[in-house]
Amino acid sequence: MDFLIANDYHDIGSIGPKFTWCNNKEGLAHISERLDRVCLNSKALCCITFAVVKHMPRVASDHCPLIINLFNFKLYNHKSIRFENIWCSYEASRGVVMKAWRKKDFGSAADILQRKVRESLRRLLLWSKNKLRELNKSKGDLLNEISGLQEEESVVGLNPNKLLLLRKKVHELNITLIRLSMRWRQHSKN
């Protein structure tokens, strides 16, 4: 604390789980602390009108990631239409394609092939939009549930069942994040 005072640093506070670190042990060996914080000096505090630190849920580490928001701005998405590798990770996408290919068609073989490929892609894109919406909703829901459990953990602790539930939710979130990452990785290459 003396270092912070001597160097004119001020903790700007945070929102989210109270603790930023957990040793991931159970029972009496379980320890949670607020080790990570964001500090600004007086000059920075005068220049910045909007500063918020958010503690994100602990997922892949024993520390909560910190998000520092110094500006209020929106990022805009620019979408492109391409085959997405994530489609292959769902068995249901096969059914979407099969349904398009079972449709009776007429004309030359080349025309039929072109229409079926176009229809398959169109159906996959519609299916994919819904699936992406579900993944993003699932990600948000899981982050909220994990946050809530970690908030509860920081206030009253968690019984073994809730601790198991927390670990299950973290696992589900990791699977969801892998799928989303697969999609965004492909989009960043194009």
As for how many domains the chain has, the answer is 2
Binning pLDDT at 50, 70 and 90, where does residue 187 land?
A: low
65-87 pLDDT, tens digit per residue, is 998 887 644 444 444 456 777 78
Whether residue 148 is found in the same domain as residue 106: yes
pLDDT of residue 63: 92
Question: Can you read off the two tokens belonging to residue 123?
Answer: 């159906």
SS3 for 61-74 is: CCECCEEEECCCCC
76 in any annotated domain: no
Residue 141 amino acid letter:
D
pLDDT at 22 over 80: yes
148 in any annotated domain: yes
Whether residue 95 is found in the same domain as residue 166: yes
Whether residue 98 is found in the same domain as residue 155: yes
168 in any annotated domain: yes
112 in any annotated domain: yes
% of the chain surpassing 70 pLDDT: 91
Whether residue 103 is found in the same domain as residue 177: yes
Whether residue 102 is found in the same domain as residue 176: yes
**E runs forming strands in 9-117:** 9-11, 21-22, 32-33, 39-41, 52-55, 66-69
**pTM reported for the whole predicted model:** 0.48
What is the span of the domain harbouring residue 57? 2-69
157-178 pLDDT, tens digit per residue, is 889 999 999 999 999 999 888 8
Whether residue 148 is found in the same domain as residue 174: yes
What is the three-class DSSP state of 144? helix
Q: Tell me which DSSP letter residue 49 carries.
A: S
